[in-house]
Amino acid sequence: MQESPKDPEKVLLVDKPLHWTSFDVVKKLRYHFKLKKIGHAGTLDPLASGLLILCTGKKTKEIESYMGLEKEYTGSFVIGHTTPSYDLETTIQNPKDITHITAQNISEVAKSFLGRQLQVPPIYSAVRVEGKRAYEAARKGKEVKLNPKEIEITKFEVEAILPEVKFRIVCSKGTYIRSIARDFGEKLGTGAYLAALRRTKIGDFSVEDAKSIEELTSHENL
């Protein structure tokens, strides 16, 4: 009896496109390369682009070690409005006056996020509540209460271009940038939502070294 071919042992850096789920990427590569073992080392939301680490074959045993690495994100918040999901998945609402907000106000609020802190995850997230994903209840209009989790933010750089605030954030595993948008808006007193997000680094891995889905699937073998 002929043995089935083994999956190659690879760590892949993928530049996930906007509107793809992390599982969409896994599914695409699994099918294209006929892989049995493949997984990603940390979800990236469909409304975010950027670095996704995938492991194949025996390298899948190393996934946990990559998940714990520090992350870097760039993107933008829009202040003066909110959304139920804290990003553009849901309707923009609650307009507020922002004419009194200055670049100094924004810089001071950004500095207040540095260090260890407790963060409440977004209700539109995959966090489990009583065995179910929080987003499932949120999308049905049900009230969801999530417990805060400890995170750490080591860098928070901003460029104020009102009403859009561009940022670069370096943070620990488990940090939700959407929750930072929510909390940022609350501290300003204007509300805010996440308008754009890109993951640029995971530990020492950079999106500059990642390949697109098209580049990877233009070959027959990994």
Q: Which of 15, 82, 86, 17 is nearest to 52 (CA)?
A: 15
Spatial distance between the Cα atoms of 73 and 49, rounded to a whole number of angstroms: 10
Q: Which of 7, 45, 87, 183 is catalytic?
A: 45
What are 152's two structure tokens?
């750490």
Spatial distance between the Cα atoms of 55 and 37, rounded to a whole number of angstroms: 8
* Phi, psi (degrees; rounded to nearest 5) at 193: -140, 160
Q: Please state, in angstroms and as integers, the Cα–Cα distance from residue 56 to each residue in 4, 31, 53, 93, 178, following that order.
A: 16, 13, 10, 43, 30
Angle (CA) 44-121-47 rounded to 5° is: 30
End-to-end Cα distance, the chain: 26
In what helix (H) or strand (E) does residue 185 lie, and over which residues does it extend?
Answer: helix 177-188
The reply to whether 45 belongs to the active site is yes
Q: Please give the positions annotated as active site.
A: 45
